[in-house]
Amino acid sequence: MEFTPLCFMLSVLMIPSECAKTAVSLSPTVSLSVSPSRSQFFKYESVSLSCEDQGSSAGGRVRRNTTKRWLEECPADWGVATAGSPCSIQDTFPHDSGVYWCESGSGEHSHAVNITVHGGAVILESPVLPVNQGQAVTLRCRYQTPPSNLTAAFYKDGSLVRTEAAGEMTIPAVSTSDAGLYRCSNSELGGSPDCWLAVRARLLLHPSSTTTSPASPPAPLLSLPRLLCGILVSLPYLVVTILLLERCCRSKGVCSEAKCDKEEL
């Protein structure tokens, strides 16, 4: 199906602006590792990225999309290869912010993660990959220069959750309702960018089953963007069909009139 401009705009509007939702495939054999394991970095910090491919010893190649350039490959277009890591950025800059992923030799993609390089004094430390439902998660307000007062306010989807004197907030057992955009702020240094916390739903087992097979997922609902895309794609075929039917009816009408004239003669 052709990806029309309207479909593209609708899909872009569904993506958070600062820290995009992590894209999760069902069973990827290639995975991306980020060190340090977080999605936000201060300007001039270093970050290492590596790929692990269960189906090949070659690993994979790290690629990225940024606001300036798309489908860049490391180290051909950005970053450097170092000992122990096929790709690293020695000094990060805000233009390094973007979506990063691994691609195997067979073309399979890993989970995609959004990395944000912030020029300010505060960032939010949060899991770089989706966390499992029921898992304990700690969000930390990280300061480039520690203030005299470490108290931080934590927000979810723009609303204040709570204020912590130690500058960190722990969710003992996350649920799917905890997924959302988080940020933190300090009264002296300001706030961090928003970042998406993704939560994997727990797999449900059938009550009478003793195996670990997951329950069948519910049928997906047809979203408005998909519906509009389907209508736009099928509209040209509908118009052509109507025109052909009209032409056919006209042809049959001419033939019927000619036949009637012949019988009268």
| Between 210 and 132, residue with greater pLDDT | 132
- Same domain as 138, residue 90: no
Backbone angles phi and psi of 64, in degrees to 5? -155, 155
| Between 47 and 251, residue with greater pLDDT | 47
pLDDT for the residue numbered 104? 87
| Between 223 and 54, residue with greater pLDDT | 54
The enclosing domain of 62 has a CATH number of 2.60.40.10
Query: How are beta strands 40-42 and 113-118 bridged, if at all?
Result: parallel
Percent of the chain at pLDDT > 70 equals: 63
- Same domain as 188, residue 163: yes
The DSSP symbol for 177 reads G
Q: Tell me whether residue 10 is in a domain.
A: no
- Same domain as 154, residue 91: no
Q: Which domain holds residue 184?
A: 121-203
Domain count within the chain: 2
Domain boundary among 70, 97, 119: 119
Q: Is the pLDDT of residue 6 over 50?
A: no
Tally of helices (H runs) and strands (E runs) in the chain: 2, 19
pLDDT for the residue numbered 67? 86
pLDDT digits (tens, 9 = 90+) for 100-156: 999 988 888 998 999 999 999 999 999 998 899 999 999 999 999 999 999 999 999
Distance CA 225, CA 231 (A): 10
Structure tokens at 262: 């012949």
Distance CA 116, CA 121 (A): 13
Q: Which of 127, 159, 166 is nearest to 143 (CA)?
A: 166
